[in-house]
Amino acid sequence: MSKPKLWTKDFINITTISFFIFLAFYILLTALPIQLTKEFGGGADQAGLLLTLFLIAAIVIRPFAGKWVSRGSQKKILIFSATAFFIATLFYPFVSNIWVLYILRILHGITFGIITTVKGTISAEIIPDSRRGEGLSWFSLAMGLAMVVGPVIGLNLANIGAYNTAYILCIVVSVVNIFLSMVIRVPEQVKQEEVSKTNKRFNLHDLIDKKAAPYALVVFILACAYSGIASFLALYAQEIDLVKAASTFFILYAALMFVCRPFTGVWADRYGANKIVYPCIIVFAIGMVMLSLPQTAVIMITAGAIIGIGYGSVTPILQTQVISSVEKHRVGIANSLFFNSMDLGMAIGAFVLGIAATSFGFSSVFLFGIGLIVVGGLAYFALASGRKKENSHAVEFMSETKLK
């Protein structure tokens, strides 16, 4: 029996949209802190606040976005949010002080929260259920590629003071997203609309699904750890004169992630997620340990490759577990929870680790990161053990029922 087709035109389009969203996100994530410190006189804690404000705005809007996606037209919401995201990028070349930049980051974060929720939900609708782990691994590679290409572009342009060039690039890719959102075909979601009509009032159940929440907690903790790399590796590299090594770090991160993710997604579908998640968390911790050591170019670059295998591979598997743990009509809410967990982890991590960097130096960021990864691994172990017991009890109950 042949597998259902994965690489359709619509899957390629939604994956491209995802790439461009995160390309703009990571270019800004890298370039803005450097501009803030060099031109606006800000410190590391204020640079961390740039990411915190952006992601908190996304987090606040996502529960509503998840509700809108479940109730309304996903394509219209995609077009609207892509247009709003583009409009926000238009203002970066005109920012002249820290406070205006903070306001713009909040507004841009709102558009980011909506578009990441809807594009994630559309991808889950387009991907065949039997290939969900594989499909989401390929889909998330777009974000992973942007996670590497974006910082390299942002870092190199910021180092020569070409901030406006970075912002214009973000504007251009945002325009492309509007076009792609117009031509994509979104599957009908009749069941979602029927369910949403029975529950129009917003409540906590629209924000947190108790079945998905434990997986989301693990995502949150690991994202806290990664936020130290995303927010402060560029500044750390400047301080110790390893800017080229930092660029290579992100390149190797991408390369190893690209090599591993397609295989880990298929293996997770075939053998179970636990057999992939545990090794990935251990490898992520090893990479963070390397970043906490006294740095040379070789150590930093090797850490990038190792973290690309670990953190780069585990994220889509956890997303698959979040989505697969809920009913079909709650996929939009599950995606909202997944991205909120990741962004809340990035936001809180960037803010807290920014304070640590200011007080104890950048190397402390990675020491804290090691502890967070260990906590995340223990949380996943507790979750997996609990689920195993539940399944065992369910099997015993079914067996007893049959005997009776």
DSSP letter string over 20-78?
Answer: HHHHHHHHHHHHHHHHHHHHS---HHHHHHHHHHHHHHHHHHHHHHHHHHHHS-HHHHH
CA distances from 233 to 19, 33, 288 (A): 22, 11, 12
Positive or negative CA dihedral for 378, 384, 387, 392? negative
Give the pLDDT of residue 402.
47
Does 158 map to a domain?
A: yes
Confidence of residue 358 (pLDDT cuts 50, 70, 90): confident
d(CA 158, CA 165): 9
Say yes or no to pLDDT of 40 above 90: no
**CB-CB contact of 114 with 84 (8 Å):** yes
In this structure, what token pair is assigned to residue 246? Answer: 């930092």
Sign of the Cα torsion 384, 378, 309, 212 reads positive
- Mean pLDDT, range 321-330, rounded to an integer: 74
DSSP states along 303-327: HHHHHHHHHHHHHHHHHHHHHHTS-
Res 398: pLDDT: 42
Counted domains in the chain? 1
- Asked whether residue 49 is domain-assigned, the answer is yes
Whether residue 3 lies inside any domain: the answer is no
Average pLDDT over residues 229-236: 85
Is the whole model's pTM more than 0.85, yes or no? no
Domain of 79, in residue numbers:
9-186+210-403
Please tell me what DSSP assigns to residue 93.
G
pLDDT higher than threshold 60 for residue 392: no
* DSSP character at residue 248: H
Q: Is residue 82 part of a domain?
A: yes
19 in a structural domain:
yes
Token readout for 202 is 């917003």
Q: What is the structure's pLDDT at 182?
A: 92
Residue 196 counted as domain residue: no
Question: Is residue 193 situated within a structural domain?
Answer: no
In CATH, what number is assigned to the domain containing residue 389? Answer: 1.20.1250.20
Residues 179-220 pLDDT 10s: 999 999 887 654 444 444 445 555 666 566 677 788 889 999
Determine, yes or no, domain membership for 199: no
